[in-house]
Structure 1
Amino acid sequence: MKFAEMEYKHPDRDALLNELAEIESRLKNAKDYEDFYQAFVDYETLGSHYGTQQNIASIRHTIDTRDDFYTKEDDYFNEINPVVGHAQNQIIKAIFDSPFVEQLRKDVPETFFTTNEFALQVISPEIIEDIQEENKYASDYQKLVASAQIEFDGKTYTLAGLEDKMNDKDREVRKRAHKAYWGWFAEHEKELGEIYDKLVKIRTRMAKKKGFENYIPLGYLRMMRLDYNKDDVEVYRKNILKDVVPVCMDLYKKQAERLGYDGNTLPVWDEKVEFESGNPRPKYHDQKLVNKALNMYKELSPQTGEFFQAMVDDELMDLNAKPGKAAGGYCTSLADYKRPFIFANSNGTSHDVETLTHEAGHAFQYWSSKDIFPPELAWPTMESAEIDSMSMEFFTWPWMKSIFEEDTDKYYFSHLSGCVKFLPYGVLVDHFQHEVYENPDWTPDERMACWRRLEKQYLPQKDYEEIDFLERGGWWMRQLHIFLNPFYYIDYTLAQVAALQFWTRMQKEDPEAFEDYKKVCAAGGTLPFRGLIELANLKVPFEEGCLGETMEEVQKWFDGHDASSY
């Protein structure tokens, strides 16, 4: 069934709550395990249907945020989700309190119980109104960013659409495009700062109600950090500074030399330009790029071929940037149909290819685990999910020749370089949020100063010449995760370290690398992060020496590839 044909029905709040209450009663009053288990199955089926309806509304809303109907539906879900979540928690409590729970533990993966134990600590009646308010301001951020209309060289661009000009071969075009892009953020600095200030205070208030000193421990619970903690993350941060930042600075120094600069710093408009001759660009766009991807996935494996053919046939992708479309890219699922959906904002740059292969990695993982029961365990936790997406970017390397043609070597260099350079940035985003939530009474200016201070540690190459907004510490305002999903960013870096290990195995032509990847995808959320890493025969990123060994392999590759010749 094509996505456009999938029916959307507005969920009736009271009817849904009545159904949940009935299931709760059945679980509590079950006379035997058979009755109990059937009630459990009915609960999961109802949850999948509700989630499907919510995701259909959300997808259609993000495809066109100007659509009043789906905007109202999206707002409606933001309003009722905390109430529904509370009712679902009552059911989970009934399950945990049941004399049949031990039998259920034999039939259901342990991660179902672990994640729900965390969830019980997250949702409670006293913070429902706070979550509703949080959802409102998060939506306000999305709407504001999606509404951007920027005049540039006689045309009107969205923020995503302008990124193509920000990577233009002509330095003066890049410079003017960056000034236009960040000029929009500077014009809306006060509004963006106020939205975030409200979000920080709402989240802090929730944490206090739950008995926490600040939002950080509640944030970890909400992110389902099942088997690592704040201390692990602090050690990981130090390893990034020790093992990764020096490699990045070497890359930036050579990049600056290629672009004609002295020293280690780069103007912001040249930071994404690896080569004086211009960045690699895909030779195919829109449907032609999708056709190339289809052929690629058919050749990669029978499973990936079947998966991507279904994505094309059922029109389960919306890839191109357009007015009114929400920013960013994502993959979500439609559980009733056991299908994933990919959303992106293609703009004609190499980022289009990385986004497509990245989100296809998420989608393939869901496709591989869609029959897992309970259905919510088809998805792993956030950091584990990113292993699937980031690794897919590397597993598709052999087919980049058919997409980038004479720019293929450039693409390999810029992609690997970008992955490595991303690690300090991703950790910076996480570190910044720890500082913010430890100091919830900071003013917007103090938050800006904090970002710039940390930025100088993790990204010392930054040169914000002529863009005062960035020099004052405004970059973080474009990072939607900071607004929408607090602490959801270090996940990308942890997964990147795992993906780089897969890349290393590919360089050594390890025949088991892709087989291990498929095992991880098929496992879905039945194992926590460390368990999935071990299943993949990789090293846990928190282990001493993991980053050092990986960076040694990366450095060897760069030493063997002279980018000045591209």
Structure 2
Amino acid sequence: MEALQQQFKDLLQTEIQCSEELEGWLKRQSRLLDEVEEQLKQHYIQFQCNTHDQQAKEAFDFDQKHVQPLVKRYKSLLDSKYYESPFRLQLDPKHFGLLNKKVENSIRLFNEKNIDLEIEEDELVTKYFEITGNLTVMWEGEEKPLSDMEVYLQDPERTVRKNTMTLIQESMLSVEEDLQIIMDKLIALRHQKAQNVGLPNYRDYMFRKYERFDYTAADCLELAEAMRQYVVPLQKKLQEKQQKTLGLRTFRPWDIRAVPINEKPLQPVQNVDELVKGTFHILEKVDSRFSALLHEMKEKNLLDLESRKGKAPGGFCESLPASKQSFIFMNCCNTQDDAVVLLHEMGHCIHNELIELGPYRNVPMESAELASTTMELLTMEYWNTFYPSGEDFKRAKREQLRLMIQYLPIITVVDQFQHWMYENPNHTHVERRAKFKELARTYDSSFVNWEGYENWLETTWLSILHIFEVPFYYIEYAIAQIGALQMYKQYKENPKQTLIHYKQALSLGSTKSVKEVYEAAGIRFDFSAQTIKELMEFVEKELELFEEE
């Protein structure tokens, strides 16, 4: 800690005599912050990989209570030093204009009181992961983590699916009160953080924190309405078709992922080694640089893909900026989802690889998720690596697009739910449950019959870790899917040019606005109903083509 503090002091005490020295100083600052960030992320990864590891938890707790507060304080002082430098205005505005805007925004959002609040906030999030990471169910005499149960939700036998969902939901409901209380405390802390910087609510605070300079909360509502108008009808149509294929009178929540009685759930691989090997061959067909990156990550033990007890739920890619590497964390259960998740996370790794280090390395999530979601779609034509059977290959592609349409409304519900929670911070648990159900009824298909199981619907959000750990990080998935579908359409027409656009857009990092990054990719950053309508028509035609193949 003392050595780190001295390094920050040295940066603060550096005399800057010209614009060239200011640029050099920025690079020094960036290198130091990269080194600190990598250490923090390594500790985070170790804790996520094993929430039972006391040593990993202690290192992670120390970072949250001591290292991160120190970094935040000095980062604020460094921002002020840069912003107050007379040589800042001599820097090229084409390259530094957006940085100036980011630094000014950061200065306005900093408040010393919030550092202690953020320590409490981090402790609550850690508690959430400890609780959810340790949830298990008994299945056929064996204790299994919840992530291992997802495959049974696709089982042809309806009784199996219903029993699976019951076990998962009852497991989550067993800790509902604990998670609701954690959420209460998080909302109170986060509302206070917004108040401390003169903002009316935490939603407005996070829009600034995430540097959402290209869209507003009103735009999110406009997108939600466009989803309701054009995505939900297609979602309902696909669910009606699913019900007919399954031969059911009613369509229940445990039927959404089901396969017909004469089929088996798609299973691209039997184990993690096969998953990595298959993904390598797929990426090789897109760009040899992409496959080489995966090979390097495997050789350097930068993949933790297996599901196991004590491992935190979910999946992520973390950039390790000092060593210029990425780490992928996920919970494999030998389903088609595994293939999609690994390709998705590789999109993030490729993005990290294409960005030069420096103050523009931390990209907005709308760009980050465009990189990953597009990778899912650009690789679809090569999924026959996993599925030599032509029929399974077609099923995998159909399922990919069908699930995108299934989840876009859910993304919308979660986003609008968070807007409501933080605009109304004094709500009760009962009101919270009721609001989630109301939003689900508004922005998700009403075709699914939840009768008798409304309790499950009202508490669906408890298992969505983003709501607890990274609030308001969810609408990016919808924005990115809109962008990725445009990229996929472009790729079908001109694969070579699309790949050039893709890499060019990703290489920009945050030197350009999100809108400009999307334009560099050859697509529109557009929330309009017309854009959503056109894309849904395109997806429907694609699904019809897959049926005909």
Classify the TM-score, shorter chain: over 0.9
Distance 1:342 1:244 in 2: 31
Asked if residue 518 in structure 1 is aligned to residue 506 in structure 2, the reply is no
Which residue pairs with 1:173 in the alignment? 160
Distance 1:461-1:110 versus aligned 2 partners, 3 A rule: farther
1:39-86, Cα deviation, whole Å (9 max, x unpaired): 322211110100011111111111111111111111122223133212
Asked if residue 484 in structure 1 is aligned to residue 469 in structure 2, the reply is yes
Note if contact 1:126-1:209 (Cα within 8 Å) is conserved in structure 2.
yes
2:388 to 398, 405, 410: 405
| Post-superposition offset of 1:131 | 1.1
| Post-superposition offset of 1:352 | 0.3
1:32 to 13, 18, 43: 18
Asked if residue 42 in structure 1 is aligned to residue 54 in structure 2, the reply is no
Distance 1:164 1:559 in 2: 26
Which residue pairs with 2:75 in the alignment? 88
1:392-430, Cα deviation, whole Å (9 max, x unpaired): 001111221110232111111111110122111111110
Which residue pairs with 1:9 in the alignment? none
Asked if residue 297 in structure 1 is aligned to residue 283 in structure 2, the reply is yes
Distance 1:530 1:31 in 2: 35
Which residue pairs with 1:67 in the alignment? 53
| Post-superposition offset of 1:237 | 1.3
1:343 to 326, 329, 337: 329
Asked if residue 147 in structure 1 is aligned to residue 134 in structure 2, the reply is yes
Percent identity of paired positions between Structure 1 and Structure 2: 26
Distance 2:94 2:221 in 1: 37
2:86 to 87, 91, 99: 99
Asked if residue 206 in structure 1 is aligned to residue 166 in structure 2, the reply is no
Asked if residue 231 in structure 1 is aligned to residue 224 in structure 2, the reply is no
Letter of the structure 1 residue corresponding to residue 176 of structure 2: E
TM-score normalised by length of structure 1? 0.92
Letter of the structure 2 residue corresponding to residue 400 of structure 1: W
2:447 to 453, 457, 461: 461
Distance 1:509 1:531 in 2: 21
| Post-superposition offset of 1:94 | 0.8
Letter of the structure 2 residue corresponding to residue 384 of structure 1: S
1:247 to 234, 237, 251: 234
| Post-superposition offset of 1:107 | 8.5
Letter of the structure 2 residue corresponding to residue 97 of structure 1: E
Distance 2:430 2:165 in 1: 22
Distance 1:296-1:228 versus aligned 2 partners, 3 A rule: same
Note if contact 1:86-1:124 (Cα within 8 Å) is conserved in structure 2.
no
Letter of the structure 1 residue corresponding to residue 17 of structure 2: K
Distance 2:39 2:269 in 1: 37
Asked if residue 426 in structure 1 is aligned to residue 414 in structure 2, the reply is no
Which residue pairs with 2:258 in the alignment? 273
Asked if residue 384 in structure 1 is aligned to residue 372 in structure 2, the reply is no
Distance 2:64 2:449 in 1: 40
Note if contact 1:227-1:528 (Cα within 8 Å) is conserved in structure 2.
yes
| Post-superposition offset of 1:466 | 4.8
Query: Which 4+ residue blocks in structure 1 deviate beyond 4 angstroms?
Result: 105-109
Note if contact 1:236-1:541 (Cα within 8 Å) is conserved in structure 2.
no
Distance 1:183 1:76 in 2: 34
| Post-superposition offset of 1:312 | 2.0
Distance 2:440 2:290 in 1: 39
Which residue pairs with 2:8 in the alignment? 20
Three-state SS of the structure 1 residue aligned to 2:526 is coil
Note if contact 1:292-1:402 (Cα within 8 Å) is conserved in structure 2.
yes
Letter of the structure 1 residue corresponding to residue 311 of structure 2: K
Distance 2:533 2:285 in 1: 34
Distance 2:212 2:485 in 1: 22
Asked if residue 437 in structure 1 is aligned to residue 425 in structure 2, the reply is no
Distance 1:463 1:109 in 2: 53
Asked if residue 327 in structure 1 is aligned to residue 310 in structure 2, the reply is no
Note if contact 1:282-1:404 (Cα within 8 Å) is conserved in structure 2.
yes
> Structure 1 stretch 358-367 or stretch 151-160: which is displaced more?
151-160
Which residue pairs with 2:346 in the alignment? 360
2:535 to 542, 546, 550: 550
Asked if residue 474 in structure 1 is aligned to residue 462 in structure 2, the reply is no
Letter of the structure 1 residue corresponding to residue 238 of structure 2: L
Three-state SS of the structure 1 residue aligned to 2:411 is helix
Asked if residue 394 in structure 1 is aligned to residue 377 in structure 2, the reply is yes
Distance 1:107-1:334 versus aligned 2 partners, 3 A rule: farther
Equivalence map 1:112-131=2 (5 Å):
112-131=99-118
Note if contact 1:456-1:462 (Cα within 8 Å) is conserved in structure 2.
no
1:3-30, Cα deviation, whole Å (9 max, x unpaired): xxxxxxxxx1x4323321221121xx32
> Structure 1 stretch 345-354 or stretch 161-170: which is displaced more?
161-170
TM-score normalised by length of structure 2? 0.95
Structure 2 residue ranges without an equivalent (≥5): none
1:153-177, Cα deviation, whole Å (9 max, x unpaired): 2110111122222333322121111
| Post-superposition offset of 1:146 | 0.4
Letter of the structure 2 residue corresponding to residue 310 of structure 1: E
| Post-superposition offset of 1:452 | 0.4
Pairwise CA RMSD of aligned residues?
A: 1.9
Note if contact 1:380-1:528 (Cα within 8 Å) is conserved in structure 2.
no
Note if contact 1:61-1:67 (Cα within 8 Å) is conserved in structure 2.
yes
> Structure 1 stretch 358-367 or stretch 399-408: which is displaced more?
399-408
Three-state SS of the structure 1 residue aligned to 2:230 is helix
